[in-house]
Amino acid sequence: MIEAHELTKRYGDKTAVDTISFTIPPGSVTGFLGPNGAGKSTTMRMIMGLDRPTAGTVTVNGKPYDHHRSPLREVGALLDAKAVHPGRSARSHLRTMAATHNIKASRVDEVIDMTGLHKVANKRVGGFSLGMGQRLGIAAALLGDPRTLILDEPVNGLDPEGVQWVRQLVRGLAAEGRTVFLSSHLMSEMAQTADQLLVIGRGRIITAGPVQDVIDSVSGAGVRVRSPRATELAALLTADGATVSSPEPSTLEVRGATANHVGELAFAHGLLLHELSPRRASLEEAYMSLTQDAVEYRSEPTSTASQKGQNR
Amino acid sequence: MTTLTTTAPAVTTPPASRAGAPAHSTFAGVMRGEWIKLLSLRSTWWTLAVTALLMALISLAAASSLGAMADDPVMAPALAEMHGAEVISGGFQIAMLTIAMLGALFITGEYSTGMIRSTFAAVPTRLPVLAAKAIALVVLTTAVTLVGAVLAYVVTMPALAEYDLVPPLDDPGTWRVLAGTVYFLVAAALFSLGIGTLLRSTAATVTLALTVLLVLPGLLSFISLDWVETIVSYLPLPASSAFIAAGGTSVRGVALSAQEGLVTIAAYAVVPLVAAAVTLRRRDA
């Protein structure tokens, strides 16, 4: 359980996180979405006590993170796959963290096996690929067998098999009753993994709720209709209070009316339909629409350099 | 609030690990973590080996030049006053540099690599980390200084014996020089650790630490103003001669007593560490 209350972080006169309040419930996966620079990483760092909030509070499992006697047993975090000294082996890195909590060496071996790092465990981390670094970060997060997991972009740099592994891992952890809070830029991945979403833009919460609700709240349930007598149908629907647009001749995009309703209306007026399909926006579309005003670092058509943004 | 669309809840954590012996965070654990950090880096071992070897080599060079000193009518009187332990600890200025690097990198290495975020995630109260690092440095610096001194003793023995300078082990003077050397090098390590925790950047820390430890005493010695000479007397290296040098030394500026020297050196270790402790909790990692 993570609870934030009017959490705020300002760097100089730039407000990174602006009085946000939210609750991340246990037993489910909560996705954290937002463009680069929206305040995701800053929020996660404040939860972990790495950044001090300018105002407001955030607690994990009922207490501020640094008030826990054995914090690694409460929260496991992957905030940055590079939070490792490159000169140390993966095993030594995990041992330094395990030692602080008197966690047994056998648990270090366990998380190494769990994350598939056994072949490289004694190699220096400096030579690791991004994917291996992510696995090491996840291993470190699992080390204390924590009740709450915070994962910032866990699938970044993983191959498809690794992406699927992370999905099963976090679903499994949530099924065990743990709190899982993860951010990702891969919307399709988030749609498959998360139970609910927290969408943030320019430091403020744009929307929150179950994944499907978030999608529907943006796009509404749309209906696509093709008919040789589209114009007449459009007039009828508009009169009925629906919003109709026509992307191409004899095709209508209808909002504010169900497919059933459109079909009944057409039948009642004897209008022939060639297609009648309910359309649900993808999470990606919903996300784009939600955050289009909140994109801090928009890539110019000619350049993709700013995509990476400032992600620490 | 949620509807679980569970696919395959792969049980990833064996329940046994949860039921096992409760693992708690303790200071002993933090201490052990810092030991593993130090000893699991090759650079630590290199630094320690180089420190001990340089101490032995420099004292060997000093011992080998005793002959030239004896033949030189100007230097010969100094030879008569010399204590053999000074020859043995002669490499301490070089050791000061490598030890200061070790102390600085122990913390700045964490900031430059991002390791500090893993460290503070495990120990969010932060101060135990600084304390554990300081203790680890004290132990390691003491150990490597002793090893270096033993090495130096062995390699310089023949040359020292020729001039009857082998430091007697039952002479308090011998142990005073050795203890003074250890004390000074421990302080140099803690000074760098404190500065490193304050500045967080390796380049800035090494520059500042080496300037204070090595560059300033030499640079300012060309200035004959009274107040500059007073400042120089209180810089670490000149201040250390108040308790490391067994015989009299020619000091310009203020002649510190051994106690004053010890206190001055302690201040170099303690003041940056206290300042670091105060800022460490408040700053964003």
**How is A191-257 classified by DSSP, letter by letter?**
HHH-SEEEEEETTEEEEEEEHHHHHHHHH--EEEEE-TTHHHHHHHHHHTT-EEEEEETTEEEEESS
Q: What is the ipTM of this complex?
A: 0.85
A103 touches chain B (CB under 8 A): yes
Pick the residue with more confidence: A218 or B265?
A: B265
pTM of the model: 0.84
Domain membership flag for residue B27: no
Co-location of A180 and A122 in the same domain: yes
Domain membership flag for residue A285: no
Domain membership flag for residue B8: no
Co-location of A176 and A246 in the same domain: no
Co-location of A105 and A227 in the same domain: no
Domain membership flag for residue B18: no
A131-135, A213-217, B202-206, B233-237: range with lowest mean pLDDT: A213-217
Q: Which of A158, A176, A210 is the last residue of a domain?
A: A210
CATH code for position A244:
3.30.70
Cβ distance B117 to A169 less than 8 Å, yes or no, reads no
Cβ distance B2 to A28 less than 8 Å, yes or no, reads yes
The pLDDT-based confidence of B132 (bands split at 50, 70, 90) is very high
Amino acid identity, position A153 = E
Tell me how close the Cα of B147 comes to any Cα of chain A, in angstroms: 26
Residue among B122, B28, B276 at smallest CA distance from A50: B122
Both structure tokens of A195 = 């139970």
Co-location of A182 and A236 in the same domain: no
Pick the residue with more confidence: B53 or A38?
A: B53
Co-location of A265 and A176 in the same domain: no
Domain membership flag for residue A296: no
Domain membership flag for residue A292: no
User: Rounded to an integer, what distance in angstroms lies between the CA atom of residue B19 and that of residue B26?
Assistant: 19
State residue B190's pLDDT score. 97
In chain A, what residues touch B23 (CB-CB under 8 Å)?
70, 73, 101-104, 107, 144
Residue A54: domain span: 2-210
**Most confidently modeled of A296-300, B38-42, B229-233, B245-249?**
B38-42
Domain membership flag for residue B200: yes
Pick the residue with more confidence: B89 or A300?
A: B89
Domain membership flag for residue B17: no
In the predicted structure, residue B121 carries a pLDDT above the cut 90 = yes
Q: Which of A188, A210, A232 is the last residue of a domain?
A: A210
Co-location of A16 and A144 in the same domain: yes
Tell me how close the Cα of B33 comes to any Cα of chain A, in angstroms: 4
User: Rounded to an integer, what distance in angstroms lies between the CA atom of residue A20 and that of residue B7?
Assistant: 32
Which residues lie across from B213 on neighbouring strands? Answer: none
State residue A300's pLDDT score. 53
Both structure tokens of B274 = 């206290």
Domain membership flag for residue A294: no
Average pLDDT of every residue of chain B: 87
Q: Scan for tokens 């033993």, then name that residue.
A: B150
Co-location of A141 and A243 in the same domain: no
A and B: number of Cβ contacts within 8 A: 166
Q: Where are the beta strands (DSSP E) in B64-185?
A: none
Domain membership flag for residue A33: yes
User: What would the mean pLDDT of B163-169 be, rounded to a whole number?
Assistant: 85
CATH code for position A177:
3.40.50.300
The beta-carbon neighbor of A100 closest among B7, B33, B285 is B33
Q: Which of A163, A185, A210 is the last residue of a domain?
A: A210
Co-location of A8 and A104 in the same domain: yes
B-proximal residues of A, 187-226, CB under 8 Å = 195-196, 210
Domain membership flag for residue A198: yes
**∠B51-B56-B61 over CA atoms, to 5°?**
125
Co-location of A193 and A237 in the same domain: no
A175-210 burial: b if 16+ Cβ within 10 Å, else e: bbebbbbbbbbebebbbbbbbbbbbbbbbbbbbbbb
Domain membership flag for residue B31: no
Co-location of A17 and A90 in the same domain: yes
Q: What is the DSSP string of A258-297?
A: -HHHHHHHHHHTT---SEEEEE---HHHHHHHHHTT--SS
Q: How many domains would you assign to chain A?
A: 2
Co-location of A73 and A162 in the same domain: yes
Q: Scan for tokens 């709190």, then name that residue.
A: A179
**Using only C-alpha atoms, what is the Rg of chain A?**
24
B7-39: pLDDT as tens digits: 333 334 444 444 445 678 999 999 999 999 999
Co-location of A199 and A225 in the same domain: no
User: What would the mean pLDDT of B227-231 be, rounded to a whole number?
Assistant: 88
A176 touches chain B (CB under 8 A): yes
Q: Where are the beta strands (DSSP E) in A73-172?
A: 75-78, 148-152
Domain membership flag for residue B110: yes
State residue B16's pLDDT score. 41
Q: What is the DSSP string of A137-149?
A: HHHHHHTT--SEE
Which chain A residue lies closest to B8 (C-alpha atoms)? A168
Both structure tokens of B115 = 């390791």
Which residues lie across from A183 on neighbouring strands? Answer: A32, A152
Residues in chain A with pLDDT < 70?
218-221, 281, 293-312
Which own/partner contact pairs does A108-111 have at CB distance under 8 Å and 24+ positions apart?
A108/A143, A110/B14, A110/B17, A111/A139, A111/A140, A111/A142, A111/A143
Domain membership flag for residue B35: no
Residue B183: domain span: 40-282
Q: How many domains would you assign to chain B?
A: 1
